[in-house]
């Protein structure tokens, strides 16, 4: 479903991604872990060209884009195959919960308002927000706002959902409700790539874990191998610091 070949990214002189190769299969729930600054978020944002890699090729669901200057059309086509859930939710503050979810369907997918409304209401019910559809984001808790973000991503019916530290802006008591929704969606077979610091979640919900450090993938595999029987010293140290 996703194939990354030799992805390099610099921010000025900072070489942040140093030749990443990665394959994600359909239905995979792939969790990326690693120390702060290791390049996890940059890698995730390269998958839909929110960050442009300097070098390398990205394919999502059979569509490939390469290099630093692809056409706008190619970037748009790639982006439409993905949806992203952001750390800070990125909701429209002047739109209601329902309007936030409908927006992509009406604008990008050119659905009628009534079609978009029907789909959005069903998804908001699924994430437990049926009673909040007419509220504005500011009236919701962080956990509820993130659930709107997840409903919005699902509405686009993407080939892949990319989660960028979806719980790291939340108060601790709200982390569980958001992880539970992500886990529920994961069990439905949607391909997901999740950058997170929640190691218990990775152990529970992922079928593959990738450990990044200093712009490279150091180790990857089943959560039982990577998290329980790590091979590389850097990963052992990283896991030790978390307990
Ligand atoms: P992680 O997600 O693992 O914490 P990031 O991908 O956010 O790591 O960052 C990797 C490196 O790239 C860090 O050194 C960070 O400071 C740098 N970086 C990330 N985004 C930008 C940007 N937009 N401009 C300049 N440097 C950036």
**Burial of residue 216, with CB atoms counted within 10 A of its CB: 0-12 exposed, 13-18 middle, 19 or more buried:** middle
Read off the pLDDT band of 35 (50, 70, 90).
very high
Q: Where does the chain show beta strands of DSSP type E?
A: 2-11, 14-24, 29-33, 55-60, 63-66, 82-85, 160-164, 191-195, 208-213, 216-221
Please state the pTM of the whole predicted model: 0.96
* Pocket-testing residue among 42, 84, 86, ligand 1, by greatest number of atoms within 8 A of Cβ: 42
Residue 63 predicted with pLDDT over 90: yes
* Pocket-testing residue among 7, 14, 88, ligand 1, by greatest number of atoms within 8 A of Cβ: 14
C-alpha–C-alpha distance, residues 121 and 113, integer Å? 12
Read off the pLDDT band of 5 (50, 70, 90).
very high
pLDDT of residue 242: 83
Name the residue with tokens 């194939």: 3
Per-residue pLDDT of 169-178, as tens digits, reads: 999 999 999 9
Residue 243 predicted with pLDDT over 80: no
ipTM associated with this complex: 0.98
Measured from the Cα of 212, ligand 1's closest atom is 3
Residue 158 predicted with pLDDT over 80: yes
Residues with CB under 6 A from ligand 1: 11, 14, 16, 34, 36-42
Residue bearing the CA closest to ligand 1, atom 7: 41
Which 8-state DSSP code applies to residue 132? Answer: G
The answer to whether 221 touches 228, Cβ cutoff 8 Å, is: no
């Amino acid at each position: 479903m996703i194939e990354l070949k030799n992805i390099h990214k610099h921010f000025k002189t900072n070489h942040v991604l140093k030749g990443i190769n990665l394959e994600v299969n359909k239905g995979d729930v792939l969790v990326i872990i690693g120390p702060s600054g290791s390049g996890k978020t940059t890698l995730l944002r390269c998958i839909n060209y929110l960050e442009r890699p300097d070098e390398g090729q990205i394919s999502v669901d059979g569509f490939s884009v390469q290099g630093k200057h692809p056409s706008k059309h190619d970037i748009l086509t790639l982006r439409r195959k993905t949806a992203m859930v952001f750390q800070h939710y990125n909701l429209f503050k002047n739109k209601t919960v329902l309007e936030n979810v409908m927006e992509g369907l009406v604008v990008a997918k050119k659905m009628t308002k009534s079609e978009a409304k029907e789909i959005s209401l069903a998804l908001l019910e699924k994430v437990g927000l049926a009673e909040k559809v007419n509220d504005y984001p500011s009236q919701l808790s962080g956990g509820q706002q993130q659930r709107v973000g997840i409903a919005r991503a699902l509405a686009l019916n993407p080939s892949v959902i990319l989660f960028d530290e979806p719980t790291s802006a939340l108060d601790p008591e709200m982390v569980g409700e958001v992880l539970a929704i992500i886990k529920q969606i994961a069990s439905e077979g949607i391909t997901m790539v999740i950058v997170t610091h929640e190691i218990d979640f990775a152990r529970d919900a992922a079928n593959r874990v990738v450990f990044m450090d200093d712009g490279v993938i150091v180790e990857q595999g089943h959560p039982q191998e990577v998290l329980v029987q790590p091979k590389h010293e850097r990963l052992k140290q990283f896991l030790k610091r978390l307990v």
